[in-house]
Amino acid sequence: MKNKKIRKEYECVLLQIHHTKNMAEISIKIINGIGEIVAQNTDFEEVNLVYQKEYQAGDKIIITTSEINKHYFIQVDDALGGALVYIKKNELSYAIPFAEKRLSYSPKIFTGNIHLLSVRLATKEEIQTYRNLAVNVMDAHGDTGCYPHASANVETRGESVFAARNAIDGVTENHSHGIWPYESWGINMQDDAEFRLDFGRKVVVDKIKLYTRSDFPHDNWWREVTFTFSDGTTLVCELEKSDKAHIIEFEKKEIEWLLFHKLIKADDPSPFPALSQIQVYGVEA
C-alpha cells in the first residue's frame, strides 16, 4: 500500500515536470537607461511583477516569452489597463514615456513608487469571442512584434498626441484635440494621408466603427473614405458630420491588414479632419 502511494506521488511529480516543460516561460524585466536590470520576475503561463520605485527617464519594460505566434494578455501599467494582443517576437521592448511622449496618455500612468505589471497567456474563451480586434493600449512606433499595430504615412508635426497609435488606444472621446483624452491620428492637412492597421495574423471581420474627431468648428470632417483590405477588396464609405460613431457593416472578410485612405474632406473651412478611434469587429480566422 505504501509503495503504491509513493509511486502515485512520483507519477504526479513527473506529470507536473512534463507539463511545465510544455508551458510558455514568461519574463518581465525593468531595465534602466544604462542597461541594468532593476527588477524582474519569471514564471510559466502567467507572471506578475511589482516594482516599488519611481520610473526614471530611459527606463524600459522588457517582456520575453518562449512561445510566440500566440495571444497574450499584457498589462504594462495598472493605470493604462491591459491589452489582449498577438505576439510574434520572443522579446518585446516598451519604453516608459516621458516629457512630450506622455501627453497622449492619462497623467496617472507610470507615476508613483509602486507599479503592477502582468503577462499571461490569453484564455480560449478570450481569443474565440467576437470582439474589437483593433485595440492595443501599448502600441508604439516601429516593428514591435505586438499586434494589432497602427502606422501611417504622416503624423502631424511628429507629435505624440497625433500619432497613429492613438486611434487604437481604446479612447473614443472626440470633442477636442491635443493632450489625453483628446489624442487622435492627425494628418497634417495632407490629402494623401494613409492609416494602416496590421493584425499580425488572419482574422475574419464584418464591422468597423469610426470615431472621427469632432472639435467643431476647429475640425473638418471626411465626407468619403476608402478601406482597402489585404484580400484585395475595397470599401468606399460616405460619412456625415457627426460626433457619433460611424458604423460600417459588410460581408465577412478574411484579412491580415487594412488601409484607411483616399480621405475626401468636406467643404467646411477648417483644414483639420482627424481620426479619434477605429474599431474593427470580428473573430480569429
Q: Average pLDDT per run of 10 along the chain, which is 285 residues long?
A: 59 53 90 97 98 97 97 96 96 96 96 97 97 97 94 97 98 98 97 97 98 97 98 98 98 98 96 98 97
Alpha carbons 163 and 65: distance in angstroms, whole number? 28
Alpha carbons 92 and 105: distance in angstroms, whole number? 20
Residue recorded with cell 502582468: 118
Alpha carbons 235 and 262: distance in angstroms, whole number? 11
Contact 148, 133 (CB under 8 A): yes
Question: Which of 251, 278, 283, 7 shows the shortest CA–CA distance to 150?
Answer: 278
Delimit the domains of the chain by residue range. Answer: 25-125, 131-284
User: Which three three-digit cell numbers place residue 190?
Assistant: 495632407
The predicted structure's pLDDT at residue 20: 56
Sheet holding 83-87, edge to edge: 46-51, 115-121, 70-75, 83-87, 146-147
Contacts of 157 (CB under 8 A, 6+ apart): 188
Query: Residue 165 CA to chain centroid, in angstroms?
Result: 8
Alpha carbons 190 and 109: distance in angstroms, whole number? 32
| Residue 170 CB coordination number (10 Å) | 14
**Three-state DSSP class for residue 25:** strand
Alpha carbons 19 and 267: distance in angstroms, whole number? 63
The predicted structure's pLDDT at residue 2: 56
CATH code for the domain defined by 131-284? 2.60.120.260
CA distances from 274 to 113, 154, 203 (A): 36, 12, 26
Phi, psi of 102 (to 5 degrees): -80, -15
Alpha carbons 57 and 39: distance in angstroms, whole number? 16
The predicted structure's pLDDT at residue 22: 72
Phi, psi of 190 (to 5 degrees): -85, 130
The predicted structure's pLDDT at residue 215: 98
The predicted structure's pLDDT at residue 143: 87
User: Which three three-digit cell numbers place residue 52?
Assistant: 516599488
| Residue 230 CB coordination number (10 Å) | 15
The predicted structure's pLDDT at residue 7: 61
User: Which three three-digit cell numbers place residue 136?
Assistant: 492595443
